[in-house]
Amino acid sequence: MSQIKQAAVVGGGVIGAGWLARLIENGIDVNVYDPAPDAQQKIEAVLINSRHVYNKLTMAPRTKEGAIHYAASLEEAVASAELIVESVPERLDIKQSVYADIEKYAAPDALIASSTSGIMPSDLQAEMQNPERLLVAHPFNPVYLLPLVELVGGKATSAETIERAKTIYKSVGMHPLHVKKEIEAFIADRLLEAVWRESLWLVKDGIATTEDIDDAIRLGFGLRWAQMGTFETYRIAGGEAGMRHFMEQFGPCLTWPWTKLMDVPEFNDELVDLIADQSDQQSGHHSIRELERIRDDNLISILQALKLNDWGAGKVLANYEKMRYDAAGADAIEEGDDFSKPIRTLEIQVPNDWTDYNNHMNESRYLEAFSQATDAFLRIIGVDVEYVAAGNSYFTVETHIRHLDEVAALQPVYATTQVLKGEGKKLQLFNRLYHEDGRLLATGEHMLLHVSLETRRSSAPENQVAEKLSEIVSLHAALDTPDGAGNAIG
């Protein structure tokens, strides 16, 4: 569950649009203000990619997307916001002018978070009336996918502001990294600047092309960095003796004249042409939107691989996924589902990788959809993360699926769940999968047994689960028996 309901994004460029995508994906309503005439068009292009990402990133239920409102003025955008994300151009005078206007119209307890990639927060807040509520929340592109956000407080930023920000960003699936002392460009960009500066020299001096340098990173140490960073990688390089041995062995080379980090190549038209021409030759056959889609799909695969090992950014994704699963049942109840009829337990767009060579959803994914619907129903009756952690669950013992119609990738579908029986240890569910246009695509009948995870034997559900289930059973008893219920293969 997100910690806020209403946010504002001021500035709709690449970073502002990325923030918007992450916030609405977590059910937060967002007012956007950007006076550029093509701002909405550019934002919608980013949202096409972000929605593609969230269809594939995790199998956890997606919350209902937050509403987007394109505000006609800054006042309209920030008046009701609990979090105000500033993503305007990287000029101190522009940012300070925007904060002066924000403070006129925003609620006194609204957090103001700058997306700046390098300006000191003390400078940003220098002319504010209430500087204690401003901090830097520096994300990384694509904001809707990469989990890191650097939190940097200025001299006047309160400790409460930092803690509130940590809670908010964790609730939208991010890893807030608190930078202990403010410094220009913070942590990550200072490291990137070192690599970028050295890369410019290597190209300028004819030692490598832009593609050579990218290959050196993505085919070599970049793969290590994705999971272990610098220090953990070098700890391993030290062998059994660890980091101390590595430092003793390789420390002296720091004085060797390997690097040009303390010098900067002249930034002239010749260098710009050299870099730009090589970059065009390297990847100019792809549009920027195509490169973004390729980047995002690759990042999803890396994140999913890391999640399997509960490591690095994969651990952040796993925690976010658990949070979404746990919130799904509560979301259904909060949204006022009518439990006297089959309960809507799933709403998704068919992911690309759910389809076969005909671009139709393959048969195993019908079972996947029904599994998600069943899980959502279980959370509604109280079989959530805490219930399972306490040693109780339901296991599926029998399933019968009828495949009635076809559905293609990226088409919207939803599922409903009807309880046929729910007494004692047994739970019999009937799921229906529909296309958004109303076509019935498949049905799934499932028999589940309540099980003690300690004994691995069937057991009666806990009272709170039994009571909620009994309430729904009594309501569904008035429903007609579904067509196909009780059938075997004919």
Arithmetic mean of pLDDT, 77-89? 98
pLDDT at 256 over 80: no
| 402: confidence class by pLDDT, cuts 50, 70, 90 | very high
Q: Give residue 121's Cα distance to chain centre.
A: 26
Q: How many residues does the chain have?
A: 490
Q: Regarding predicted confidence, which is higher, 240 or 21?
A: 21
Domains of the chain: 6-178 (3.40.50.720), 189-285 (1.10.1040.10), 337-476 (3.10.129.10)
Q: Edge-to-edge strands of the sheet including 83-86?
A: 68-70, 29-33, 6-10, 83-86, 111-114, 134-138, 148-153, 175-178
Q: How many Cβ atoms sit within 10 Å of the Cβ of residue 357?
A: 6
Is pLDDT above 90 for 254?
no
The mean predicted confidence, pLDDT, of the chain is: 91
Instruction: Give the sign of the dihedral formed by CA 103, CA 107, CA 108, CA 114.
Output: negative
DSSP state of 219: I
Residue, of 43 and 488, whose pLDDT is higher? 43
Residue 47's nearest CA partner among 409, 316, 296, 408 is 296
Residue 465: how many CB atoms within 10 A of its CB?
Answer: 20
Rg, the chain, Cα only: 26
Classify the C-alpha dihedral 93-98-101-102 as positive or negative: negative
**232-236, 401-405, 432-436, 465-469: lowest mean pLDDT where?**
232-236
Q: Are 146 and 139 in contact (CB under 8 A)?
A: yes
Distance between CA atoms of 63 and 68, rounded to whole angstroms? 15
Residue 445 forms beta bridges with which residues? 400, 430
85 pLDDT above the threshold of 70: yes
Nearest alpha-carbon partner for 122 in 130, 131, 114: 131
Q: What is this structure's pTM?
A: 0.80
pLDDT exceeds cutoff 80 at 313: yes
At 167 the pLDDT is: 97
Pick 326 or 43 by higher pLDDT: 43
Distances (CA, A) of 14 to 39, 300, 376: 10, 19, 34
Confidence of residue 245 (pLDDT cuts 50, 70, 90): confident
pLDDT value at position 330?
A: 60
Q: How far apart are CA 488 and CA 490, in angstroms?
A: 6
Q: Are 297 and 351 in contact (CB under 8 A)?
A: no
Query: Is 352 a residue whose pLDDT tops 80?
Result: no
Residues 343, 336: Cα–Cα separation, whole Å? 11
pLDDT tens digits for range 320-341: 988 887 776 565 555 556 799 9
Give strand pairing partners of 8. Answer: 31, 84
Res 264: pLDDT: 73
pLDDT classification of 88: cutoffs 50, 70, 90: very high
pLDDT score of 392: 95
Beta strand residue intervals within 275-358, DSSP E:
343-349
Mean pLDDT of 406-418: 93
pLDDT of residue 331: 59
- Residues facing 134 on adjacent strands: 112
- pLDDT computed for residue 52 by the predictor: 87
| Paired residues of 145 in beta bridges | none
pLDDT for the residue numbered 59: 76
Q: For the chain, give percent helix, strand, coil, nearest 5.
A: 45, 20, 35
Which residues, in sequence order, are CB contacts of 418 under 8 Å at separation 6+? 342, 343, 429, 430, 431, 432, 476, 479, 482
What's the pLDDT tens digit per position in 100-130? 999 999 999 999 999 999 999 999 999 999 9
The neighbouring-strand residues paired with 344 are: 416
Confidence of residue 261 (pLDDT cuts 50, 70, 90): low
Average pLDDT over residues 393-417: 94
Percent of the chain residues past pLDDT 90, beyond the cut: 71
